[in-house]
Amino acid sequence: MAKKILVVEDDKDSRFILAAQVRLIGYEPIEAQTGIEAIEKALVEKPGLILMDLAMPGMTGIDAAKALKENPTTSHIPIIAYTAWDGEQWREPALEAGMVRYLVKPVMPQTLRTTIKKFILF
């Protein structure tokens, strides 16, 4: 059974592409469209890694990451920011929220693969 990666992205097309990349690398993508859904799925699915968009309606990826890090059941799961938002005004809060890496879209497939392999839980 492949290790699970939670792909959190509100844009349907972007989520589809990222999930396909995760699948091609050899992992099982679990998809969430919102921050709230990400928290719910992380609790149920127990992924080995979360790829989190930052700009989502309702709850930002930063707020979702904070909630996941505050919950003892999900606090150990590495979260990688996967966003189009570039710049220190977004990077700093994401890392302070507990994200382990900040990737700016578009990300080269090899960079995505290397980053996932570095952080995914075994």
**Residue 32 bridge partners (DSSP):** 8
- Closest to 122 measured CA to CA, from 33, 44, 27: 27
- Going by pLDDT thresholds of 50, 70 and 90, the confidence category of residue 3 is very high
- Per-residue pLDDT of 79-110, as tens digits, reads 999 999 887 788 999 999 999 999 999 999 99
pLDDT of residue 22: 97
- Closest to 38 measured CA to CA, from 14, 18, 62: 62
pLDDT of residue 30: 98
For 4-119, the fitting CATH number among 3.40.50.620, 3.30.230.20, 3.40.50.2300, 3.40.50.150 is: 3.40.50.2300
- Going by pLDDT thresholds of 50, 70 and 90, the confidence category of residue 1 is low
Spatial separation of the C-alpha atoms in residues 5 and 29, rounded to whole Å:
5
Spatial separation of the C-alpha atoms in residues 64 and 109, rounded to whole Å:
25
If you average pLDDT over residues 110-119, what whole number do you get?
97
- Closest to 47 measured CA to CA, from 56, 38, 55: 38
- Per-residue pLDDT of 42-90, as tens digits, reads 999 999 999 999 999 999 999 999 999 999 999 999 999 999 988 778 8
Instruction: Sketch the domain layout of the chain as residue ranges.
Output: 4-119
How far CA 120 is from CA of 44, 50, 55, 98, 115, in Å, comes to 17, 9, 23, 15, 8
Q: How many residues does the chain have?
A: 122
